[in-house]
Amino acid sequence: MPHRIEKIEDSIFFVGAGAMAEAIIKGLVYSRIIPSKHIYVTNKNSRHRLLELKDDYEIKIPDSLEDGCKKSRYILLAVKPWTVKAACENLKPFLTKEHVIISIAAGVTTTVIEQILGSSNEVIRTMPNTSSAICESATGICGGKYAKNETILTVKRIFETVGEAVVVKESQIDAVTALCGSGPAYIYYLIEGLEKAGINQGLNEEDVRKLVVQTVYGAAKMLVELHAEPAILRKQVTTPNGTTEAGLKTLEKYDLHEIIEKTIESARERAKEIGKETEKEIWNTK
């Protein structure tokens, strides 16, 4: 549910042109918060990929990194965590104090980015997800040492055009990463399991896809539209001594909640580790 938001006047420069850059660009272009001609994109070495994005979304390819920086106030780092250092070092000569650096890299702290840049640029760390492409992301946002509140709120507005966005403390963003950045993958995995079970019960693939996806979509939409508690909606489905109760007993027997707890914990731990790895990388080269 994208919010209706007033337009952002400044341009945005995507450094990295992969899956997430495209998902966010798609959402931004669709929501029209930033005109396509104010969206710039670059990557490491695939001109073909840039031309593809340019054609699909009518966005711009700058002549150089310097050109992209000159034309944009917001620089969005959409590279893998272990590439953040190289990308920031390449940008460094072209940054002025007005540039706001937005990172979507899992685990990489604002302190690491501030230290690589060695400047007092505002750094905003975010964690969106791939549903940005259809303006349904769930994004966590936090600011670094130099980030002004007003800038954090502008970045929140940008991400609200591609879904829901909340401002969190930096100490909480690895949890948001585990829950929402990685989250779509867990839901898809669950759906794969439901589909497999449906097929094993004799349903055909086409019907099972339609039925399972609609079941998940309908359940999520009930939560959104009725603002109801999941436990209450669950109870409405569960007839005493009926089929749902039988199914839920099996989920309890295998302790699905415990599995989920461990899943989120593993992902959050990995985000922390990635943070440490990128931190070590800068200390090793200083």
Ligand X SMILES: NC(=O)C1=CN([C@@H]2O[C@H](COP(=O)(O)OP(=O)(O)OC[C@H]3O[C@@H](n4cnc5c(N)ncnc54)[C@H](O)[C@@H]3O)[C@@H](O)[C@H]2O)C=CC1
Ligand Y SMILES: O=C(O)[C@@H]1CCC=N1
**Cβ-count burial 165-192 (b if 16+ within 10 Å, e if not):** bebbeeeebbbbbbbbbbbeeeeeeeee
Does 272 carry a binding-site annotation? no
Do 11 and 67 form a contact (C-beta atoms < 8 A)?
no
Please provide the size of the chain in residues.
Answer: 286
Residue list 76-115, contact with ligand Y (CB under 6 A): 106
Q: What distance in Å separates the CA atoms of residue 127 and residue 142, rounded to the nearest whole number?
A: 9
Least distance in Å: CB of 22 to ligand Y? Answer: 14
Q: What distance in Å separates the CA atoms of residue 86 and residue 76, rounded to the nearest whole number?
A: 14
Alpha helices in the chain (DSSP H): 19-31, 47-57, 65-71, 84-91, 110-117, 149-160, 173-176, 183-200, 205-226, 230-237, 243-253, 256-284
Least distance in Å: CB of 177 to ligand Y? Answer: 6
Least distance in Å: CB of 129 to ligand Y? Answer: 7
Look at residue 15 and give the partner it binds from ligand Y, ligand X, none, a contact being a CB closer than 5 to 8 Å depending on partner kind.
ligand X
Instruction: Please name the residues in contact with 229: beta carbons below 8 A apart, sequence gap of 6 or more.
Output: none
139 touches ligand X by CB under 6 A = no
Does 93 carry a binding-site annotation? no
- Cα-flanking dihedrals φ and ψ of residue 138, to 5°? -120, 110
20 touches ligand X by CB under 6 A = yes
Q: What distance in Å separates the CA atoms of residue 11 and residue 203, rounded to the nearest whole number?
A: 50
Candidates 32-40, 61-69, 110-118, 176-184; binding stretch for ligand Y (CB under 6 A):
176-184
Does 196 carry a binding-site annotation? no
The mark string for 124-163 relative to ligand Y (x by CB under 6 A, - otherwise) is ----------------------------------------
275 touches ligand Y by CB under 6 A = no
Alpha helices in 47-148 (DSSP H): 47-57, 65-71, 84-91, 110-117
The mark string for 65-104 relative to ligand X (x by CB under 6 A, - otherwise) is -------------xxxx-x--xx--x-------------x
Candidates 66-74, 83-91, 134-142, 174-182; binding stretch for ligand Y (CB under 6 A):
174-182
> How many chain residues interact with ligand Y (CB under 6 A)?
4
Report the SS3 class of residue 127: strand
> How many chain residues interact with ligand X (CB under 6 A)?
27
Residue list 152-191, contact with ligand X (CB under 6 A): 181
| The binder of ligand X chosen from 27, 62, 68, 128 (CB under 6 A) | 128
Do 51 and 41 form a contact (C-beta atoms < 8 A)?
no
Does 148 carry a binding-site annotation? no
* Contact footprint for ligand X (CB under 6 A): 15-21, 42-44, 46, 78-81, 83, 86-87, 90, 104-106, 127-130, 181
Binding residues for NADP(+): 78-81
Q: Which residues are annotated as a binding site?
A: 78-81
What does the binding site for ligand Y look like in residue numbers (CB under 6 A)? 106, 177, 181-182
